[in-house]
Chains A and B, each alone.
Chain A
Amino acid sequence: QKEVEQDPGPLSVPEGAIVSLNCTYSNSAFQYFMWYRQYSRKGPELLMYTYSSGNKEDGRFTAQVDKSSKYISLFIRDSQPSDSATYLCAMGMDTGRRALTFGSGTRLQVQP
């Protein structure tokens, strides 16, 4: 079993839809959680960062962390064709190395 599970998609939605992307994890020691967006032929770009449980909002994006369920989500409101990309969740422990463990990514397509 992978430490971080993420549905690979593809997830196809119409423009303007609310998108929900999710990851589950097994390691209860994970303390910080991130979402990266990766466009085709580009490097991952940091989108959201959350430490421990709770919600964080940034414009059309909301990240949620539920540590009791070992479940994190990214919501995208009013989705746009420019949101079409692969979304990677990443998480890490509060140790010196602070290595990130990544999900395999969910490919999102927003249809105009």
Chain B
Amino acid sequence: EAQVTQNPRYLITVTGKKLTVTCSQNMNHEYMSWYRQDPGLGLRQIYYSMNVEVTDKGDVPEGYKVSRKEKRNFPLILESPSPNQTSLYFCASRLGDRYEQYFGPGTRLTVT
């Protein structure tokens, strides 16, 4: 089954404790990205990757890091999480020359 998977689905952590949210897709998509979803603000892009070893900032990159060492994986790293990063996070992917993006199930992160 073609899908984007994320882990963990739920995470509660404390300020400053480094964490990583994993994302994997099995569709051989070149493009992957991370979004956060907040009430009233919709989905906002954090980082994206056009292909392996090619990453760039989206609209709200502050406080986040990413890496793309393999085509299928695109982890999101919060090196020093803060309460304002409490949000619902989605990973998405698409074929390089297409417009439609496919989303994972989401990771609900709470930073206390």
Q: Which residues of A approach B to under 8 Å, CB–CB?
A: 4, 6, 8, 32, 34, 36, 41-46, 49, 51, 88, 90, 92, 96-100, 102-105
The answer on a CB contact under 8 Å between A104 and B58 is no
The answer on a CB contact under 8 Å between B103 and A97 is no
B106 at the interface (CB under 8 A from A): yes
When C-beta atoms are compared, the residue in chain B nearest to A90 turns out to be: B43
What residues of B have a CB within 8 angstroms of the CB of A99 in the complex? 33, 45, 48, 58-59
Interface size on B, residues (CB 8 A): 25
When C-beta atoms are compared, the residue in chain B nearest to A32 turns out to be: B99
Question: Is chain B's interface secondary structure helix, strand, loop, or mixed overall?
Answer: strand
- The list of the 8 closest CB pairs from A to B, nearest first, reads A43-B103, A102-B42, A104-B42, A102-B43, A32-B99, A44-B103, A43-B105, A43-B106
B53 at the interface (CB under 8 A from A): no
Q: CB within 8 Å of A: which of B8-23?
A: none
